[in-house]
């Protein structure tokens, strides 16, 4: 179920054009001093951040935009990713934080005011990329997709492994339904906005 979503956009390959912004969408963290900071990011956030840093380093002078709110924590996802990025050698002056965005649409909306018409690469999970790109297009941005955190694969060592119960299959199903609900909510939001526009016009 998940693989078609993850295959919608290919992995990022530099096209020769200068990139001014690389944006990494947050996906969870904890605050626990007993853990190294890399373990305080969720696996998804860490994989997204690693890909964002990789692309950022391909384009010296580019800015690394990190997004995500606190979700009940005093430290935002964006700031936690920034701490890890600094520890991995990213220059502080190259990091921009969007710390109040609570969902993908808000991340896109806030990014628009920062990026404008500049060249942007968008980093998020492969399963999330289709919905993220749609939200960014809605606000007038046209980023280049850089999917990461691929979960589904058709490369299985032994054919019978496909039919054995595996925890990874549950994770893939959860991601599929999460994105399905996200796309459904996006459709509802558009319907509500269009209805309000029609009422105001009349």
pLDDT at 31: 79
Q: What is the pLDDT of residues 33-74, one digit of tens each?
A: 888 888 889 889 999 999 999 999 999 999 999 999 988 788
pLDDT at 57: 98
CATH of the domain at 66: 3.40.50.620
Burial class (CB in 10 A: 0-12, 13-18, 19+), 181: exposed
The mean pLDDT of 8-25, rounded to a whole number, is 92
Record the tokens describing residue 4, joined without a space. 């078609």
The mean pLDDT of 15-19, rounded to a whole number, is 86
**96 bridge partner residues:** 65
Q: Tell me what the pLDDT averaged over the chain comes to.
A: 83
> Is residue 161 assigned to a domain?
no
> Is residue 194 assigned to a domain?
no
> Is residue 165 assigned to a domain?
no
> Is residue 57 assigned to a domain?
yes
Q: What is the pTM of this model?
A: 0.77
pLDDT at 160: 47
Range of the domain at 51: 2-154
> Is residue 199 assigned to a domain?
no
Q: What is the pLDDT of residues 91-117, one digit of tens each?
A: 999 999 999 999 999 999 999 999 999
> Is residue 59 assigned to a domain?
yes
User: Which residues, in sequence order, are CB contacts of 16 under 8 Å at separation 6+?
Assistant: none
Torsion of CA 52, 70, 111, 172, to 10 degrees: 50
> Is residue 44 assigned to a domain?
yes
The total number of structural domains in the chain stands at 1
The sign one gets for the Cα dihedral 155, 161, 167, 171 is positive
> Is residue 112 assigned to a domain?
yes
Q: What is the pLDDT of residues 157-201, one digit of tens each?
A: 555 455 555 555 556 566 555 566 666 566 666 656 666 555 565
* Sheet with 95-98, edge to edge strand ranges: 95-98, 63-67, 21-25, 120-125, 144-148
- Cβ 129 vs Cβ 8: under 8 Å: yes
Record the tokens describing residue 136, joined without a space. 């960014």
User: Which residues, in sequence order, are CB contacts of 67 under 8 Å at separation 6+?
Assistant: 23, 24, 25, 26, 77, 78, 97, 98, 99, 101, 107, 110, 111
For residue 2, is pLDDT > 60? no
Neighbouring C-beta atoms of residue 93, cutoff 10 Å: 7
């Amino acid at each position: 179920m998940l693989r078609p979503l993850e295959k919608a956009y290919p992995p990022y390959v530099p096209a020769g054009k200068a990139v001014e912004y690389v944006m990494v969408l947050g996906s969870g963290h904890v605050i626990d001093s007993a853990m190294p900071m890399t373990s305080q990011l969720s696996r998804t956030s860490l994989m997204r951040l690693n890909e964002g840093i990789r692309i950022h380093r391909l384009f010296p002078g580019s800015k690394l935009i990190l997004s995500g709110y606190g979700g009940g924590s005093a430290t935002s996802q964006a700031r936690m990713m920034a701490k890890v990025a600094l520890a991995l050698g990213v220059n502080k002056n190259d990091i921009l934080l969007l710390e109040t965005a609570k969902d993908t649409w808000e991340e896109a909306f806030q990014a628009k005011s920062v990026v404008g018409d500049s060249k942007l690469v968008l980093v998020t999970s492969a399963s999330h990329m289709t919905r993220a790109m749609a939200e960014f297009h809605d606000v007038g941005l046209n980023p280049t997709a850089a999917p990461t955190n691929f979960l589904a694969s058709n490369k299985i060592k032994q054919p019978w492994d496909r039919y054995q119960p595996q925890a990874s299959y549950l994770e893939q199903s959860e991601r599929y339904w999460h994105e399905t609900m996200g796309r459904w909510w996006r459709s509802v939001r558009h319907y509500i906005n269009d209805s309000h526009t029609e009422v105001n016009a009349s």
